[in-house]
Structure 1
């Protein structure tokens, strides 16, 4: 068991709407007080922890639906870290249980929401997460420091590893030459041809960066994908011909470092 197992369990629920199995499962364990369509962000963390064999490390052997109580339990255990030094200064990392206050405080009593950290952007502007009950579904999000109250650091049974796929296989190897060919070939075509399957890996990263709508992450390097990559290049400081939406080695490696894939020629 490890942080990767915990994240893999959270990934199982991606796309889940409401009402859902998580709510029914939590209600069966904790009674009628949780009838109806109750807020289920922390119930998702609890369910994933149970299924991952990390119930004690993540939840201290307690079912949590109330985010304030969960954050307070991390503090009691000496494992709470308030978000007062920025993303880089905080040391937040993959596997941490992250708590949010939409009003921007670091006070446990004002915590509104919870998720798990899957990574941090290379420029420390975003914390990438999986969260239950975000816009009524379980989804990946990219969060900024203002929204993060703090995080709890579980004592996982096995130390965290570098990001990998949930199946345990090695990180995707994205070919720059094949990707560039797809970006140039696919955009003008009608329909959704997929000339290079790993385009979708890059599109998933662009979705996480909040530059591409999820509906366009379909493996087709269309105009929406190219426009999103151009926005990424501008974010990285490129302009003019260097921000034309065609991936380059430097920008792609930077994106891959933040989102769990490697780049080859």
Structure 2
């Protein structure tokens, strides 16, 4: 496939809890040592790379459940980049396999967790990811430099060339958010128990609110709950709206302004 194919395979597992198919698949391949509800963040990377046809690029032909061994493999193949000079100077980018040490070191031996990078904020303060086994589910997350030990850069296959030259074909790689679907999600999700996701692009709005320091990163989960409402109301106030006009339900003006600043397009 390609870099985008790898990310697409990660995206299809978003919302998966545990125990799950990934764990059963990995156990079948690698034996009883992986019985029970084992940590599956790197098993998910392994599954996605296998399904995407990117085992050589991402896994060097080997299954991984142990994040330290996986990061070490990137180092042995001269594809490891320690996070020692900040997000911007590191060059971390979409498609990189990102490894985390919650204690804040860049030591491979201290790595706790792994995911894939889907983007970097325009101010280089945040790295956007998809991760398995984060709060026991697969989810999009927003990470800061302190948590990132480093990243591996796979040599993905080239994306297939487009066969159509139609002028109507879109060349934009920016995510799209439908205002109508987003508003419906804001109205539908908040009363629900738990954190069901009724409109996945909600995560782009939440990531932007996190970048604006209007929403705690733990609430960037694709569920338009009460915290997301409150964060969006603060964004509306920042845009100059008050009272009933800052009710936490997105409108076209404020949403477009948020998207222009944080890398997504808005459609009706």
* Paired residues for 1:184-263 under 5 Å: 200=199, 203-208=202-207, 209-210=209-210, 211=215, 214=221, 216-217=223-224, 226-232=229-235, 238=238, 241=241, 244=246, 247-248=253-254, 249-255=256-262, 257=263, 261-263=264-266
In the aligned structure 2, how far is the partner of 1:18 from the partner of 1:174? 29
Asked if the contact 1:130–1:140 (Cα under 8 Å) also holds between the matched residues in 2, the reply is: yes
Q: What residue number does 2:2 align with?
A: 2
2:145 equivalent in structure 1: 145
Within-5 A mapping of 1:1-265: 1-158=1-158, 171=174, 200=199, 203-208=202-207, 209-210=209-210, 211=215, 214=221, 216-217=223-224, 226-232=229-235, 238=238, 241=241, 244=246, 247-248=253-254, 249-255=256-262, 257=263, 261-263=264-266
Q: How many residues align?
A: 236
1:95 shift after superposition: 0.3
| CA spacing shift, 1:160–1:232, aligned 2, 3 Å | farther
User: Which whole-Å CA distance do the structure 1 matches of 2:160 and 2:113 have between them?
Assistant: 23
TM-score where L is the length of structure 1: 0.75
Cα distance per residue 1:46-87 (max 9 Å; x no partner): 010000000000000011111000000101111100011111
Secondary structure of 1:158 counterpart: coil
Task: Return 5+ residue gaps in structure 2 as ranges.
Answer: 162-170, 193-197
